[in-house]
Amino acid sequence: MEYLPILVLVSSFLALLAIGTPVAWSIAISALLTMLVSIPALPAFTTVSQRIGTGLDSFALLAIPFFVLSGELMNKGGIAHRLIAFAKTLVGSLPGGLALINIISAMLMGAIAGSAMASASAMGSILGPEMEKEGYSKEFGAAVNITSATTGLIIPPSNILIVYSLASGGASIAALFLAGYIPGILTGLFLMIVALIWAKKKNYNVGKRSSLKEVFKTFVDALPSLFLLIIVIGGIVAGIFTATEASAIAVLYTLILGAIYKELTLSGLPDILLSSAATTAVVMLLIGASMCMSWVLSYENIPQDISSGLLSISDNKIVILIIINLLLLFVGVFMDMTPAVLIFTPIFLPVVTKLGLHPVHFGIIMILNLCIGLCTPPVGSVLFVGVGIAKTTIEKVIKPLMPLFLAMILALFLITYFPQLSLWLPGLFDL
């Protein structure tokens, strides 16, 4: 094994991050420095720039800007309010009702928008003040919002599942989308159990029970928003259109729905388009740089070396999965989700497939691991959004966050060692 390339890659990447270089540039520069170890400067510069460009040359990636835009349109188009109202009638009368409403609304919002940031922003700004008014601590409200927002990255449609499909070399997007439902709902249920116990312990206010008439009314109000799920996922699974085509249909549908709700205006569209373009640009730069680093890893045979190293420790599936889970949890603390998926999928996927794991199952394991990372400092983007909206500090949020972390880790354990939780639905549709 040649140690110099991997030493240059890891040390330069960590050094660049330490001095505050943006993640995308840290990835690209460390990939370039690694190439310079093996080949002359001109071919190294040419190869790196070429790989960043060709890394974005994928039809599947066109879905990302469309799903980002549809998420922005949903956030501004009144959909979040209707989902919260529906969730309120379902669980508002239980202990910790507002916390449970936050979790269910985040799951529904995530299932429609596919964005943890959009979910954390919408739920935090709408439900945060209401929770505070009802006597909930703002730190507990922020902790619930932060952790529940990540369920939208597992429950489809999800941009990160599309990225994993690309990194895995062709895992079916339709299969990944279906595989995310049970793990996402299971994670949400575990979060709800913790929130209910915490609220009971703290003796938070309980809301009034909703009548069947109120439940039906809010369901009918939320139905057009929920119908988007049937259009997008149903169309992909039935083979009517691809994930990319489904994302464009989602934009058109949410645009029409926002106009019907009279919460989207022509004057507000430029800001929505600009915000979506800025988010897409950041994501695409990360993808391009990460695809370049993945190619450099492959060129230097680093995945094969790591694979051999892991399998030399043990050939026991349980032991290897524990090691990979711990490594991914560690990676999630320091690295954003998109580059982590693109860089570490080619490293770990060959190892787990040798042990008999299905690529779709491993994709769900990887995404859930990295979802936990989004809630942890120093790089946890959802953590910073949730704390910022709640107007509190990370130090104060850590205590109520810990039991919710444990709930997510328990869900991760079950999903890791019970593959049918991920593979049952895709198997039902022969995907």
Domain ranges of the chain: 1-55, 56-428
Average pLDDT, the chain: 85
Q: What are phi and psi of 254, to 5 degrees?
A: -70, -30
pLDDT digit string (tens) for 45-71?
998 888 888 888 877 788 888 888 887
CB 378 within 8 A of CB 291: no
Tokens 């694979």 map to which residue? 307
What pLDDT does residue 111 have? Answer: 63
Tokens 């994930």 map to which residue? 243
What pLDDT does residue 364 have? Answer: 95
Output the furthest CA–CA distance in the chain (Å, rounded).
73
Q: What percent of the chain has pLDDT over 90?
A: 18
How far lies 76's CA from each of 113, 121, 258, 269, in Å? 12, 11, 8, 10
Cβ-based burial of 22 (10 A; exposed 0-12, middle 13-18, buried ≥19): middle
Mean pLDDT of 72-91: 79
User: CA torsion 374→426→229→238, rounded to 10°?
Assistant: 140
What pLDDT does residue 115 have? Answer: 67
**What CA–CA distance (Å, rounded) separates 112 from 98?**
21
**Closest Cα to residue 69, out of 301, 296, 249, 324?**
249
Which range, of 44-58, 285-299, 302-316, averages the lowest pLDDT?
Answer: 302-316
Say what the pTM is: 0.83
pLDDT-based confidence at 176, cuts 50/70/90?
very high
pLDDT digit string (tens) for 362-415?
999 999 999 988 888 766 778 887 888 888 888 888 888 999 999 999 999 999
What pLDDT does residue 4 have? Answer: 81
- pLDDT of 259 > 70? The answer is yes
- pLDDT of 164 > 90? The answer is yes
What pLDDT does residue 313 have? Answer: 83
